[in-house]
Amino acid sequence: MRFYRTSGALAAAAALLASAACVSEEGAAEQSDDTLVGSGTGADCTIEETVPIGAVLSLTEAAAFAGEYQREGIEMAFEEINAAGGVEYEVTYEDDKTSLEDSVAAFEKVIDRDEVSAIIGPTLSNMAFTTYTDSQSAGVPTVGISTTAEGIPEIGDYIFRASLPEEVALAASIPAAKETLGIENVAVLYDSADEFTDSAFNTMTDVLADEGVEVVVEESFETGDTDFSAQLSKVQQNEVDALILSALPGETVPLVKQARDLGIESPIVGGNAFNSPVLVGALEDASEGLIVGGAWSAAADTTGNADFIADYTEQYDRAPDQFAAQAYTAAYLIDEAVRADCDANREAIKDNLGQILEFDSILGPISLAEDGEVTQEPFVQIIRSGEFTLLEG
Ligand code: 1QQ
């Protein structure tokens, strides 16, 4: 067993040398701190220094429906991990207020001020396309927990996601909906102003074409819109078997309510943002029959899921959702990467995150590849009487 800890002065000198010597391709100095290296591996790893983690989340404004759950999922996981001993983590939470500007500032804070070993977040792909270029050039491993748009891991080798790509969710939910409901033609409605919903629209179009489902109406709107009568009147003029909807909850709720008020009764298939009890609660009766593909289900029989649901519900006085579950899982994946070489420096975390194979999680077995992409099975659910039930998966 190797023991890496050195005296403070020696460690400081070594860190200085190391940071002078190690410059990543992008020119950013690599973090190399001997006090973040411990002894032992895996469950036996012991690191004396507290490991700093940054969590940049949308804790207020439009995406807080997910961000609040994410904060709780991260908090609960690190409480459990810290209680198990060996490695202690301290998380700094930053609210990006669902704004790109604030997200960029929050990333700068955790990278430069807090010198974190890894970042979790942000909540929306819309911010990630910008903020991930910052953590990539600073050489900080970053794990997305709900950044599902196409092209996210491709931003760089420090960018990972423990969030099922929307392409994978839709490739499961649309065929399942087609089979269950006998869908032959659809109307596709999408938010063209958000990176995630726009990317999901492209995927929906591809999957529908592959499935031989005809798109008879295709209409867009923009984040912040509240009146969908123009788009819905096009739907009314055409009999469709289903509505395929790519939207965040802020627009989904009024759109679906307006559709039902107009007498449009077609079943609705949505993206992973629909996998949220907040959305179901806001839709009330209009949520009946919604079909959604996502990374997690309360009904799934995955390892530890029942305990996770029970513990979370006790701690936060409400049941967890997909966003809490993915955030919780990401914390464990970071811990797994730290313990692999018992090294909580950025470079070691990055190298080891990319080698996680079939980690047994509440999302099911989950792997992260060197290119940052996640592999896990999707869950397709249908909402019945306000409850998510498994349709398939
Ligand atoms: C993204 C998403 C959203 C639904 C997260 C809340 O998947 O922005 O990629």
From first CA to last CA, the distance across the chain in angstroms is: 43
Residue 196 CA, ligand 1 centroid: distance in Å: 6
Contact by Cβ (8 Å): 355, 370 = yes
- Determine if ligand 1 sits within 6 Å of the CB of residue 123: yes
**Hey, which of 58, 60, 124 would you mutate to test ligand 1's pocket, going by the most ligand atoms within 8 Å of its Cβ?**
124
pLDDT score recorded for residue 25: 45
Which ligand 1 atom is the nearest neighbour of the CA of 126?
8
Q: Which CA distances in Å does 236 have to 181, 204, 221, 242? A: 19, 21, 17, 12
Residue 285 CA, ligand 1 centroid: distance in Å: 24
pLDDT score recorded for residue 239: 87
- Determine if ligand 1 sits within 6 Å of the CB of residue 146: yes
Residue 46 CA, ligand 1 centroid: distance in Å: 35
Label the pairing between strands 118-120 and 364-368: unpaired
Residue 97 CA, ligand 1 centroid: distance in Å: 15
Which ligand 1 atom is the nearest neighbour of the CA of 149?
9
Domains along the chain with CATH numbers = 8-32+42-164+303-376 (3.40.50.2300), 167-294 (3.40.50.2300)
pLDDT score recorded for residue 32: 79
Residue 323 CA, ligand 1 centroid: distance in Å: 9
Residue nearest to atom 4 of ligand 1 (CA): 273
Structure tokens at 302: 């995955």
One pLDDT digit (tens) per residue for the chain, 393 residues: 222 223 333 333 344 333 333 444 444 555 678 999 999 999 999 999 999 999 999 999 999 999 999 999 999 999 999 999 999 999 999 999 999 999 999 999 999 999 999 999 999 999 999 999 999 999 999 999 999 999 999 999 999 999 999 999 999 999 999 999 999 999 999 999 999 999 999 999 999 999 999 999 999 999 999 999 999 999 999 989 999 999 999 999 999 999 999 999 999 999 899 999 999 999 999 999 999 999 999 999 999 999 999 999 999 999 999 999 999 999 999 999 999 999 999 999 999 999 999 999 999 999 999 999 999 999 999 999 999 999 964
- Determine if ligand 1 sits within 6 Å of the CB of residue 276: no
- Determine if ligand 1 sits within 6 Å of the CB of residue 149: yes
Residue 125 CA, ligand 1 centroid: distance in Å: 6
Which ligand 1 atom is the nearest neighbour of the CA of 147?
9
- Determine if ligand 1 sits within 6 Å of the CB of residue 125: yes
Which ligand 1 atom is the nearest neighbour of the CA of 63?
6
Find the DSSP H helices in the chain. 8-21, 64-84, 100-108, 125-138, 166-181, 195-210, 229-237, 249-261, 277-283, 305-316, 322-341, 346-353
**Hey, which of 120, 161, 272 would you mutate to test ligand 1's pocket, going by the most ligand atoms within 8 Å of its Cβ?**
272
pLDDT score recorded for residue 9: 36
164, burial (CB in 10 Å: exposed 0-12, middle 13-18, buried 19+): buried
Could you tell me if residue 6 is left (phi over 0), alpha (psi between -120 and 50 degrees) or otherwise beta? beta
| Integer-rounded Cα radius of gyration of the chain | 22
Which ligand 1 atom is the nearest neighbour of the CA of 248?
4
pLDDT score recorded for residue 15: 40
Residue 22 CA, ligand 1 centroid: distance in Å: 35
Residue 83 CA, ligand 1 centroid: distance in Å: 31
Residue 333, helix vs strand vs coil: helix
pLDDT score recorded for residue 262: 95
pLDDT score recorded for residue 31: 62
Residue 32 CA, ligand 1 centroid: distance in Å: 33
- Determine if ligand 1 sits within 6 Å of the CB of residue 147: yes
pLDDT score recorded for residue 3: 28
- Determine if ligand 1 sits within 6 Å of the CB of residue 196: yes
The reported pTM is: 0.91
- Determine if ligand 1 sits within 6 Å of the CB of residue 69: no
Amino acid identity, position 70: Q
Which ligand 1 atom is the nearest neighbour of the CA of 273?
4
Closest of 189, 187, 211 to residue 200, by C-alpha: 189
Q: Which CA distances in Å does 314 have to 54, 56, 88, 138, 322? A: 25, 25, 23, 39, 17
